[in-house]
Amino acid sequence: MIKNEALAPARKVRQGMGLARREAIMGHLLASPWTLGFLLFTLGPMVASLYFSFCDYKVVKPPVFTGLANYSRMISDELCFKSLSVTTIYTVVSVPLGIIAALAVAVLLNQKIAGARVIRTIFYLPSVVSGVAVSLVFAWIFNYKFGILNYIIGLTGISGPDWLGSPRWALWAFILMSLWGIGGNMIILLAGLQGVPVSLHEAGMIDGANSWVRFWNITIPMISPALLFITIMSIIGSFQVFTQAYIMTGGGPAYATLFYLLYLYKNAFSWFDMGYASAMAWVLFIIIMLCTLATLRGSESAVHYEGA
């Protein structure tokens, strides 16, 4: 009897270890479809593209290892630099503009108004519409002859520009078009705004702070994690613009809308220079990673985390 009582703790430990092992095995089995999908369709292609980036690979012929030839070719490729400059300008302008617009709409829809839920849904719906459908709609909106935008501008007596046919205006048309999809960021910011304690604003009002001071010193710090998240996601998305340019302009006019990802696609699937396209893809990966790290590092003193 005494011996059984002495062995009881050890038996419970073994039973606990067995249960933990079974739970771990079951967890791995349930996660195995995702794990296999990641290995086969994400990690595998990434490793293959890294190898191809060091090769002369024309798809129809076996890859031939050429070292850093593809990367050195990018340095002398004027179109590569042109596509990178177009994408950079788009990112620098569209990301802050989109965040400001999303924040403004979120603040407005955070007010207690009739039909607020319906209005929020209306603002959010455009962000889930197919990129091809949106591109076709905006191709009509920006049309020089019968587009609705130039029609509205014409009502003021001003002749609207050739939005998609002019190298001067084409990129700005895409920047304006980017505001169409602010609904996703608006929802995230709206959730952040609704999490700001009312007591903080009441304390600010007691101290004599006006609405702008309270917004800048209470609301913005409290939603700063949400702002950081949408900033990073917007930067990543802006470097991956493809569908709009492919459908609406094909990179023209005069390469004014030749985004980096569109040029990468042309190299890979139009000119079948898969090795060079793989090198471009890895350069894009490094650029996005550096931008993300720089954003995170620069936000350390500006982002307020609850409980920190």
Q: Is the model's pLDDT at 197 over the cut of 70?
A: yes
pLDDT, position 13: 55
Cα atoms in the 13 Å half-sphere on the side-chain side of 27: 6
Q: What is the rounded distance in angstroms from the CA atom of residue 301 to the CA atom of residue 263?
A: 37
Mean pLDDT of all residues in 83-110: 95
Tell me: pLDDT of 302 over 80.
yes
Given a cut of 80, whether residue 9 has pLDDT beyond it is no
Instruction: For residue 242, give both structure tokens.
Output: 């493809």
pLDDT at 6: 52
Q: With CA atoms as reference, report the closest residue to 291 among 92, 141, 2, 55.
A: 92
Instruction: List C-alpha distances in Å: 63 to 50, 51, 129.
Output: 12, 9, 39
- Residue 211: pLDDT band (50, 70, 90) is confident
Q: Where are the alpha helices (DSSP H) in 76-217?
A: 78-109, 116-124, 131-141, 148-154, 170-178, 183-194, 198-206, 211-214
Q: In the chain, what percentage of residues exceed pLDDT 90?
A: 69
Cα dist. 10→18, 41, 264 in Å?
Answer: 12, 45, 62
Q: How far is CA 140 from CA 26, 146, 151, 167, in A?
A: 53, 8, 12, 18
> Residue 293 pLDDT > 90, yes or no?
yes
Mean pLDDT for the chain? 90
What is the model's pLDDT at position 201? 84
- Mean pLDDT, rounded, for 261-266: 97
According to the model, what pLDDT value does residue 56 have? 96
What whole-number distance in Å separates Cα of residue 265 and Cα of residue 246?
A: 10
Q: What is the rounded average pLDDT of the residues 195-214?
A: 88
Per-residue tokens: 54? 């060091």
Point out which residues pair with 64 in neighbouring strands: 56
